[in-house]
Amino acid sequence: MNTATQWSPARSRLRVHALILSLLVIAGLLMGACDLGGDSQPPASGNTNPPSGATQPQFPAATNTTGNQQTGGTGNTGGNGSTGSTGGATGGTSAGGSSSNPAAFNRIAAMMPVGGADASQQPVVQMVQRVGPGVVTVVNSLNPSFTGGQQAEARGSGAIIDQQGHIVTNNHVVEGQQQLVVIFADGKKQQAQLIGADPDHDLAVLQISGPLPAVVPVGDSDKLLPGEVVIAIGSALGEFRNTVTVGVVSGLHRSLPEGNGVTLQNLIQTDAAINHGNSGGPLLNLDGQLIGVNTLGVTQAGEGDIAQGLGFAIPSSTVKAVTQAILQGGGAVASNRPYMGVTIVPVTPQIASYYNLTGPDGNPLSEGALVQEVQAGSPAQQSGIQPGDVIAAVDNNQVTQDNPLGEILINYKAGDQVTLTIIREGRQGTAKMTLGQRPNQ
């Protein structure tokens, strides 16, 4: 008989006892870990609410909020609350982390608060406290001639961007203005002066005088990455001053046509809630730098096609160029901005494949601006530009995703003559154009 397979009753009992003892030790350790994780958040006697700063559970109310966005402020307020909980998660206070034993041990060992007990240490909170006072509500008392004789006002947002009191906002916030007033986060009001505007980029610059509550530094939008956390601050619905919403960069280099031959280009797409009244407010990174100016939120696209989490901001690279042009030109951008009269979409490999766009070498195009529409009587029509043409360059300035057509035209004014490099059905040519002035402005 092979003795290696023989077991005695005594040895079997010893092994069973050892196994039971090991299981008891492991169970004790696990219970201790759970106790450590729980004890780091002392319960509030008689209060069943989660501690301040902790991530809130997501309830079906979020679905109702989406439905209510079309009908009233309640839905929007609910949306902001939901976004606020996302901000808590961004600050490192997700409920999932405090229920994990390894995470609990690591946080205790590092002497970090579990569950966000000290909300003031969260990066979003610190950033908002630092630069939030530099965000203002812009109240536009509209000229009766602009509204058909009616007394009306429009409200949006803006950000103080320098020590000289310059405020950047959207052009559509100040359009038709008779008088402009800004309301600070603390409720104080001050009259503002319109320095200049650029409707083609939907940007405007105002100025105020006197002490400034804070300045929002302008950052570099070229460094943004999809998935990066961003924060929007603005006057939701024109009433809820300094509303904070949190999201991520959903996409870059987006384009949206505004009509009248104007296409907003190189936009930042974000899922941070952008409501009416947020227009002109800053889109910020975690360092508190303005990396975009919120301009619109899409809630419906096509018949019955409801959109969610589709907000767009003008990148800070465009904001810098337009602001500089307005300040150096004394506000002349509004009267001398160039106009081509085309509706375009940036060329990407996907667009090139869909429309079968090729260059003179026969290879698919990867850059340029595809002309989708040409305005009647516009400089583009007079120069022979046709739908389907690709504008590849303006005076040897190549049109790319990082250097879109709109930003190239910032360096020109109405009346300037330019030479366009055009690709039509795989053939490359040139077209002379005298830039015009946008009509009806």
Which residue is listed with tokens 């583009």? 380
Which residue is listed with tokens 């009433």? 239
Query: Which residue is catalytic, options 198, 202, 271, 389?
Result: 202
Q: d(Cα 95, Cα 116) in Å, to the nearest integer?
A: 9
Beta bridge mates, 290: 218, 284
What burial class does residue 212 get, using C-beta atoms within 10 Å of its C-beta: 0-12 exposed, 13-18 middle, 19+ buried?
middle
Which residues are CB-neighbours of 405 under 8 A, at least 6 positions away? 265, 344, 369, 391, 394, 399
Residue 279 bears catalytic tag: yes
C-alpha distance across the termini of the chain, in Å: 105
- Which amino acid is located at 245 in the chain? T
Token output for 219: 């950052």
Element (H, E) at 169: strand 166-169
Residue 220 bears catalytic tag: no
> How many CA atoms lie less than 13 Å away from 102 in the CB half-sphere?
0
Cα R_g (the chain), whole angstroms: 29
* In 63-165, beta strands by DSSP E: 135-142, 153-160
* Phi-psi domain of 324 (left: phi exceeds 0; alpha: psi -120 through 50; beta: other): alpha
Residue 394 DSSP class: E
Q: d(Cα 372, Cα 149) in Å, to the nearest integer?
A: 37
Q: What are phi and psi of 246, to 5 degrees?
A: -125, 140
Which residue is listed with tokens 């996302």? 86
Query: Which residue is catalytic, options 82, 98, 157, 279?
Result: 279
Q: d(Cα 391, Cα 405) in Å, to the nearest integer?
A: 8
Residue 202 bears catalytic tag: yes
Quick check: 160 and 205 in contact, CB under 8 A? no
Token output for 109: 């060992």
424: closest CA among 344, 370, 363, 348? 370
Query: Which residue is catalytic, options 172, 200, 255, 317?
Result: 172
Quick check: 157 and 206 in contact, CB under 8 A? no
Which residue is listed with tokens 């290696």? 4
The residues assigned a catalytic role are 172, 202, 279
